[in-house]
Structure 1
Amino acid sequence: MAEAHQAVAFQFTITREGIDLQLSHEALRQVYLSGLRSWKKRVVRLKNNVITGVYPASPSSWLFVVIAILATMYTRSDPSMGLIAKIQEHLPASSDSLSVQCQTVVSAVLFSTLLWLSLIFTMKLCLKQLLSYHHWMFEQHGNLSNTTKVWVMLVRIFSGRQPQLYSYQGSLPNLPVPTIKDTIKRYLESVRPLMSDSEFKRMTTLAKEFEDSLGSRLQWYLKLKALWASNYVSDWWEEYIYLRGRGPIMVNSNYYGMDFLYVTPTPIQAARAGNTLHAILMYRRKLNKEEIKPSRIPGTFIPLCAAQCERIFNTTRIPGDETDSVVHWQDSEYVAVYHRGRYFRLWLYQAGRMLSPREIEHQIQRILDDPSPPAPGEEKLAALTAGDRIPWAQARKEFFSSGVNKRSLDCIEKAAFFVSLDEEEQGMMGDDPEASLDRYAKSLLHGKCYDRWFDKSFSVVLYKNGKTGLNAEHSWADAPIVSHMWEYVLATDSFRLGYNEEGHCKGDVNPSLPCPQRLTWDISVECQERVRRSLAVACALADDIDFHVFPFRDFGKGNIKKIRMSPDAFIQAALQLAYYRERGIFCLTYEASMTRLFREGRTETVRSCTSESCAFIKALEHGKPADVCRRLFRTASEKHQLLYRLAMTGAGIDRHLFCLYVVSQYLGVESPFLKKVLSEPWRLSTSQTPFQQAELFDFVNHPDFIICGGGFGPVADDGYGVSYAIVGEKLMCFHISSKHSCPQTDSHRFGTQLRKALLDLLQLMSGDQPEESRSEQNHGPKPQSKKEL
């Protein structure tokens, strides 16, 4: 009852004498301060919208234009060529009371404003045209053409100064629609090494028929959409690839991010939670104020789309019968916390200010010390978000549409994010560190299938030994967006906030903080049965996942750069070689690229299994001379880089074919070609976790504070999911997933093949065994204690 009393600002009772009204001054003060904070945020948002709207100019430039026009008029010249006089003639009748001189000044100000807006529009249009130029990506590094040099100079001129996070949004070009001819040509080229002569002949025939008949009709609709929409792919991609999926999003869609590999800043769970949650709030404040620098292509000044950042916080995926929806709320001052089967609302603001790390630690410790048991059916309730979507949608309508259940569910869905206080210990520890990393990955990906709220934009997981990590829902954004936030959080936690000698958060505690509010539920027996069914589906899926995570310390991108090769192309070749050695065949390979050079861009596919890579691997495995293999390897690497650049610049294959298929379904026509293309399984699905904020970490003075990225589940039942992170110059981390139910796949076996492939490729290109390769596998940053190992 105490929590309920704190939630209202007044109490009243009706008696015979009338209404007895009792105001709570402290509660009213909290309401006032919370409202004040909300209005401050609105003012900041309005200011940022103005600044972003006039970018690449600045609001102050308006005053400069007005003064310049007025100064020119006082020299008895008319810079408007009669337009000011025309404006003065059409001023409203109410302006007759003004003197002629005042009317002239008002007309000049109006003309100046129109001129200023016209200049802004022109500058935006020019910048948009400049950012549509992508030929620079295909030029040799260090050998730019004169055209590109002039382009660089013009982009710098039109980009203005000190851009905010969303400053470039209005100037980013729209994603172009490739021609049918180019897409089909590249598609046939990509599948040639994977098909027999008869299969390829049949596919060529289907492609030709499609190009000559239905393709041009579908293309016309896509071009029409591209003229109307900001991005002709992204809304359909979100809808049909993510939101319309009726299977579990746990494992199949959600992904995870890990903590530091070798270091745990504090072994105290509540303390780690205090710093982590406070650091996340600091990031959200910077995001709301647009103080985060715009993302750019590494090593360049070319901006990337930031539209996905808008839904990091206060966002939830809502289940539906046919399709889910992503709902985003404007602001939330609390998080939903799960611990030992109970749900809590934890307020993160007090009297209009953000709670300090020490205060959050205090509140988390209160939750950890709470002895109350979960209500009937409460403990495993989140299994509904882990199972199939239709049963969850139906249960949500039947059991959570009114009463106490609706209020508690609203509290979770409208929270800034979700927090899970896990009772397990995870991380790289014990006598078998590799096995402990595998368990850590599985715990982050699916946990117990009921201790993560998989519908939230992201859930922070805090383990009993102070280790942390996160699980992210995929439909609202891609991994680089979450990764950027997570890098900031980990760096801020350890290097900015820190801990005292006892391992607690720094600062003092306000003892008057209200206790976290326990959420209440009334879960019927029928609802509990629905939960059990969803949990059974989720557990069967989770138990089938085979994970292997390992840090590769024998060499890193520094050694790869010395042989003048792209680190990503090198790793992709190693993945192809490892798969060929394990299975004896090649497979359709998915590598995620991004299209954020364009407005609202998300991802594109790089088909990294090419004729060139297959020719190289066959030559290597058949014992061809080293110089021949090196030449073929460089050819394969150049082809991979070309494909990656084409994908980034809007000339990819798969998103275009996907959208053509969507149009065909809307028109109710069948295409054997498109049906065949979209039914092909990705048995090797790969992605690189980007390291975007190297300036936040000091690997020289703090070499143990290494982030090892994250991972995801396999896309195909008989395939592998491989995520990798290139950390610094000397370390690469790999996350490999597959399914136990498939006898042809084994994550550990593939990991062994991948290690060998990496070493063999470097030896081939170096001419001899590198010194790093001769060192033992534990050569590298040493853990701080036996417990960490």
Structure 2
Amino acid sequence: MAEAHQAVAFQFTITPEGIDLHLSHEALHQVYLSGLRSWKKRIVRLKNCVVTGVYPASPSSWLFVVIAILATMYTRSDPSMGLIAKIQEHLPVSQSMSLQCQTVVSAVLFSTLLWLALIFTMKLCLKQLLSYHSWMFEQHGKMSNTTKLWVALVRIFSGRKPLLYSFQGSLPNLPLPAVKDTIKRYLESVRPLMDSSEFERMTSLAKEFESTLGNRLQWYLKLKALWASNYVSDWWEEYVYLRGRSPIMVNSNYYGMDFLYVTPTPVQAARAGNTLHAFLKYRRKLNKEEIKPSRVPGTVIPLCAAQCERIFNTTRIPGEETDTVVHWQDSEYVVVYHRGRYFRLWLYQAGRMLSPREIEHQIQRILDDPSPPAAGEEKLGALTAGDRIPWAQVRKEFFSSGVNKRSLDCIEKAAFFVTLDDDEQGMMGDDPAASLDRYAKSLLHGKCYDRWFDKSFSVVIYKNGKTGLNAEHSWADAPVVAHLWEYVLATDSFQLGYNEEGHCKGDVSPSLPPAQRLTWDIPAQCQERVVQSLSVAQALADDIDFHVFSFRDFGKGRIKKCRISPDAFIQISLQLAYYRNRGMFCLTYEASMTRLFREGRTETVRSCSNESCAFVKALEGGESVEVCRKLFRVASEKHQHLYRMAMTGAGIDRHLFCLYVVSKYLGEESPFLKEVLSEPWRLSTSQTPVQQVELFDLVNHPEYISCGGGFGPVADDGYGVSYIIVGENMINFHISSKHSCPRTDSHKFGAEIKKALLDVAQLMCSDQREPSRTQQNSNQNPQDKKDL
């Protein structure tokens, strides 16, 4: 095989005259270049560690402090107040070091200690400043003098040109709420969901827990909050994600879609070339920490970047009791799946990154490869889609040695996973709505065996040039993946581009070896286990009902003119839609981030509040416009308050979750915690943020908008709703439910959401000018502007 010859650096044979050694200079040159690249990366990492460690100061500031101290000593003054002399007394005696030299060394040591003390002080000051959150609760447009002073100080202590991880050492720890405060907020959140007798019973359980077991459990959490940088995140990752034994496909993994109206090229290999190259560019910026730290939109407040560390080269490894997330430092290849075969595709040659055109060439070679899959190879990925315990047992029994272990290691250590899909997806055909539904289901689960669901993310390139990704959830949350995906889409279309024939730009090196087929030896017993996992996964996938639609009647532009938070507007509309759909209210989950704190992940906003329920009942009960408007304003303010509380560490669910974990460690049973943790989230919602707006010029290129992403339903009888607010005039929704539940229907719920949005807008924004018929038509048919 050609690749085998490429891999041999030297050969030797034993002859009667001795050993005959033949060196391959080209192979050794490749080894040298790869090693050189590796050492360059180590040096960059070391430099970044130093720069990040001393931030908000800079390494060059050390020299300034040393020169300043030496200059003051030259003027016969002692800025150290005798400390330099004390240091000099304790220096080891040396015959070769003069008294003046000892003084200089002592001064340099004092200067270094002073510099480190100043850095520590600056970090501490910045940490205290970032612990101030009252600015979030001030009325919009009215900033207090305290907050103005705080903003100025944050700017001063934040330094200049921070690296990605510069703020990590200055972020505050997640605060631990008091038990009584959490219980009070919990009881308030469930009041509209219970009748008087149920609420009285739950209040009694809560008060009993607060006065007995709660304080004891809280004591352990206080110890953890003092010791750990975040008292929630490690347990959240372990017990919510990694210890789950059900399939992660649909239940945990989520997806992101391509542009809604534009396909940059219909050539599958070309789209793969640009997309993979864009991922590599992002990883290079990530390794050099050149990505700007994420901040709260419109502010200078940094967000935790810890989740970015595991974007690439990361895999979830199955275990019988719990899974583990394993991250490797670097990987120079991806694994590509096509028509039941696995290929290792190297993305670097001689220490350089392959160009988009070269990657396209390599992908086309895979597409043209006529070889059939080996026995048991085609549906091997179904193991990652089924239950976790069988997958862990199969991995241990059949993939712990030999050729299977080598091939599995290759997949798990790859930078990420790539699927070349033979289907065509996207908004197309006579029924674009149905095609979007199929597109969503394809990205969420595919054929149940053509994605590797354990990888940190899998990229899917369709036959018609559409693309998307499927992400594993345990290692990070959706905003981190969305940030990566926005960069890839923008780089693909606006930086790399394509030639007139739809191919990637650039030339191809003639010395590129083809991608390597991974080899397997799958016995019949293992193939039977694969079939069993596939049947479990297929049943789960077939049960998912998905509906994706774009709401174009209005967007955040019109909502803001009504002086309403767009997120509150949508969440209250969802409450109205659910009430109309089911005739009742339900426990509602909205994801909020806690990345204002170190290693922060998410918190729950319980969107179904007393205030939102009062508005819905008033509107459905035929109350006057004035009453309904007033109740909506109150509900909107309440929702914003709940969201801010969650962001600032005063949420409900993560605290109760950690108390429950401690109770299990202690072997204590709590009827209150058991009931709280078993309550179903029948309406699970999340907003996909648009974070890198500077990469997309939606004014001049309105067709380049992302459709966002989605996830499966959390409860068997509930809905999963994801939405993305795109530009000023569009909101995209992704709705999931299960066919097996007769009380849920994603399409009917989508229709209720549309009606609820229009009804709330008519109520609250009736004095705003309606969009013109021309604008409505252009919004409804933007695909006419560009071929799909």
1:37-67: per-residue Cα shift (whole Å, max 9, x none)?
Answer: 0100000000000000000000010000000
- How much has 1:697 moved relative to structure 2? 0.4
Distance in 1 between the 2:285 and 2:236 partners? Answer: 29
The answer as to 2:202 corresponding to 1:207 is no
Query: Hey, what does 1:275 align to over in structure 2?
Result: 274
Do structure 1's residue 63 and structure 2's residue 63 form an aligned pair? yes
| Cα distance change on mapping 1:777 and 1:248 into 2, 3 Å | farther
Per-residue deviation, 1:395:
0.4
Q: Per the alignment, in what secondary structure is the counterpart of residue 68 of structure 1?
A: helix
Partner of 1:399: 398
Give 1:91's aligned residue: 91
Corresponding residue for residue 80 of structure 1: 80
**Structure 1 position 97, deviation (Å):** 1.5
Report the Cα offset of residue 8 of structure 1: 3.1
1:430 alignment partner in structure 2: 429
Q: Give the paired residue count.
A: 788
Question: What are structure 2's unaligned runs of at least 5 residues?
Answer: none
- Distance in 1, Cα, partners of 2:198 & 2:709: 37
Asked if residue 669 in structure 1 is aligned to residue 668 in structure 2, the reply is yes
Structure 2 residue matching 1:326: 3-state secondary structure? strand
1:579 has 2:583 as partner: no
User: Using the alignment, how far apart are the partners of 1:778 and 1:541 within structure 2?
Assistant: 39
- Give the letter aligned to residue 296 of structure 1: R
Whether the 8 Å CA contact 2:357–2:503 is kept in 1: the answer is yes
Q: Counterpart of 1:513?
A: 512
Partners of 1:311 and 1:26 lie apart in 2 by: 34
Q: CA deviation at 1:25?
A: 1.3
Query: Which stretch has the larger CA shift, 411-420 or 775-784?
Result: 775-784
Give 3-state SS (helix, strand or coil) of 2:487's partner.
helix
Report the alpha carbon displacement of residue 21 of structure 1 after superposing the two structures with TM: 2.7
Which residue number in structure 1 is paired with residue 609 of structure 2? 610
Q: Deviations over 1:561-607 (max 9, x none)?
A: 00000000000011000000010000000000000000000000000
Corresponding position of 2:753: 754
Tell me the residue number matched to 1:554. Answer: 553
Q: Which residue of 2 aligns with 1:767?
A: 766
Residues 708, 725 of structure 1: 8 Å contact kept: yes
Is the CA contact 2:556–2:727 (under 8 Å) kept in the aligned structure 1? yes
* Structure 1 position 7, deviation (Å): 2.3
Between 558-567 and 13-22, the greater mean CA deviation after superposition: 13-22
Q: Distance in 2 between matches of 1:144 and 1:84?
A: 47
2:285 match: 286
Cα deviation digits, residues 481-534 of structure 1 (max 9, x gap): 000000000000000000000000001111210000010000000000000000
Q: Distance in 2 between matches of 1:86 and 1:179?
A: 48
SS at 1:287 equivalent: helix
In 2, are the aligned partners of 1:6 and 1:27 still within 8 Å (CA)?
Answer: yes
Give the letter for the 1:629 counterpart: C
Task: Give the deviation of 1:13 after TM superposition.
Answer: 3.5
What residue number does 1:304 align with? 303
1:584–1:21 CA distance, 2 compared to 1 (3 A): same
- The reply to whether residue 370 of structure 1 matches residue 369 of structure 2 is yes
What is the aligned partner in structure 2 of residue 161 from structure 1? 160
Inter-partner Cα distance in structure 1 for 2:29 and 2:475: 36
Contact map agreement 1:331 1:416 (CA 8 A) in 2: yes
Equivalents in 2 of 1:784, 1:649: separation in Å? 42
Q: Which whole-Å CA distance do the structure 1 matches of 2:191 and 2:254 have between them?
A: 32
In terms of mean alpha carbon deviation, does 23-32 or 448-457 score higher?
Answer: 23-32
| Alpha-carbon shift at residue 779 of structure 1 (Å) | 3.7
C-alpha displacement of 1:772:
3.0
Whether the 8 Å contact between 1:430 and 1:786 is mirrored in structure 2 is: no
Match of 2:52 in 1: 52
In the TM superposition, residue 558 of structure 1 has moved relative to its aligned partner by 0.1
Distance between the aligned counterparts of 1:760 and 1:23, measured in 2? Answer: 77
Q: Is the 8 A contact 1:418 1:459 kept in 2?
A: yes
**Residues 143-158 of structure 1: pairs in structure 2 closer than 5 A:** 143-158=142-157
Q: Kindly indicate whether the alpha-carbon contact (under 8 Å) linking 2:552 and 2:780 is maintained by their aligned counterparts in 1.
A: no
2:42 match: 42
After superposition, where does 1:340-419 map in structure 2 within 5 Å?
340-419=339-418
Query: Where does the alignment leave 5 or more consecutive residues of structure 1 unmatched?
Result: none
2:380 aligns to what SS in structure 1? coil
Shift in Å at residue 630 of structure 1?
Answer: 0.3
1:347-401 Cα offsets, whole Å, 9 max, x none, are 0001110000000000000000000000000000000000000000000000000
Per-residue CA deviations over 1:599-640 (Å, capped at 9, x if unaligned) read 000000000000000000000001100010000000000000
Q: Hey, what does 1:651 align to over in structure 2?
A: 650
Q: Distance in 2 between matches of 1:21 and 1:528?
A: 45
The question of whether the paired residues in 2 share the 8 Å contact of 1:554 and 1:779 is answered with: no
Q: Using the alignment, how far apart are the partners of 1:339 and 1:476 within structure 2?
A: 26
Contact 2:249–2:445 under 8 Å retained in 1: yes
Q: Secondary structure at the match of 1:181?
A: helix
- Give the Cα separation in 2 of the matches to 1:15 and 1:472: 56
Mark the CA change 1:713 to 1:470 in structure 2 (over 3 Å): closer, same or farther. Answer: same
How far apart, in 2, do the equivalents of 1:710 and 1:146 lie? Answer: 41
Describe the superposition over 1:327-356 as per-residue Cα deviations: whole angstroms up to 9, x where unpaired.
000000000000000000000001110000
Whole-angstrom distance in 1 between the partners of 2:92 and 2:731: 70
Structure 2: how far apart are the matches of 1:558 and 1:786?
23
The answer as to whether partners of 1:417 and 1:456 remain within 8 angstroms in 2 is: yes
Counterpart for residue 315 of structure 2: 316
Deviations 1:238-273 (A, max 9, x none): 000000000000000000000000000000000000
Q: Tell me, in whole angstroms, the C-alpha distance in 2 between the residues paired with 1:523 and 1:659.
A: 43
Aligned to 1:459: 458
Distance 1:342 1:455 in 2: 18
Choose 762-771 or 471-480, whichever is displaced more. 762-771
1:10 offset after TM fit, Å?
A: 1.9
State whether residues 429 and 788 of structure 1, in contact with CA within 8 Å, keep that contact through their aligned partners in structure 2.
no
Pairs within 5 Å for 1:584-595: 584-595=583-594
How much has 1:144 moved relative to structure 2? 1.4
1:137 partnered with 2:144 = no
Change (3 A) 1:787 1:14: farther
Q: Which residue of 1 aligns with 2:6?
A: 6
Counterpart CA distance in 1 for 2:14 and 2:471 is 49
Q: Deviations over 1:290-329 (max 9, x none)?
A: 0000000000010000000000000000000100000000
Q: Does 1:21 align with 2:18?
A: no
1:33 matched to 2:48? The reply is no
Report if aligned partners of 2:717, 2:741 keep a CA contact under 8 Å in 1.
yes
**Which amino acid in structure 1 is aligned with residue 56 of structure 2?**
P
* Conserved? CA contact 1:595–1:647, under 8 Å: yes
Partner of 1:745: 744
Question: Which residue of structure 1 aligns with residue 219 of structure 2?
Answer: 220
Once the two structures are superposed, the pairs formed by residues 578-727 of structure 1 within 5 Å of their partners are: 578-727=577-726
Shift of 1:150: 1.3
Q: Is the 8 A contact 2:2 2:513 kept in 1?
A: no
Deviation at 1:774, TM superposition (A): 6.5
Q: Distance in 2 between matches of 1:361 and 1:542?
A: 32
Distance 1:411 1:165, change over 3 A: same
SS in 1 for 2:95: helix
**Aligned-residue CA RMSD in angstroms?**
1.3
After superposition, the C-alpha distances for 1:664-703 in whole angstroms (9 at most, x for unaligned) are 0000000000000000000000000000011000111111
Instruction: Give yes or no for contact 1:759–1:773 (8 Å, CA) kept in 2.
Output: no
1:153 Cα deviation after fit? 1.2
Kindly state the Cα deviation for residue 788 of structure 1 after the two structures are TM-superposed.
5.0
Distance 1:437 1:318 in 2: 32
Q: Is the 8 A contact 2:449 2:534 kept in 1?
A: yes
2:537 partner letter: A
Matched to 1:113, the amino acid is T
Identity of aligned residues (%): 85
Once the two structures are superposed, what CA deviation does each residue of 1:218-239 show, in whole Å capped at 9, x if it has no partner? 0000000000001000000000
Q: Secondary structure at the match of 1:536?
A: helix
Equivalent position SS for 1:70: helix
Q: Distance in 2 between matches of 1:83 and 1:769?
A: 71
Deviation at 1:276, TM superposition (A): 0.3
SS at match of 1:506: coil
Deviations 1:708-746 (A, max 9, x none): 110000000000000000011111100000000000000
Distance in 1 (CA, whole Å) between partners of 2:519 and 2:409 is 12
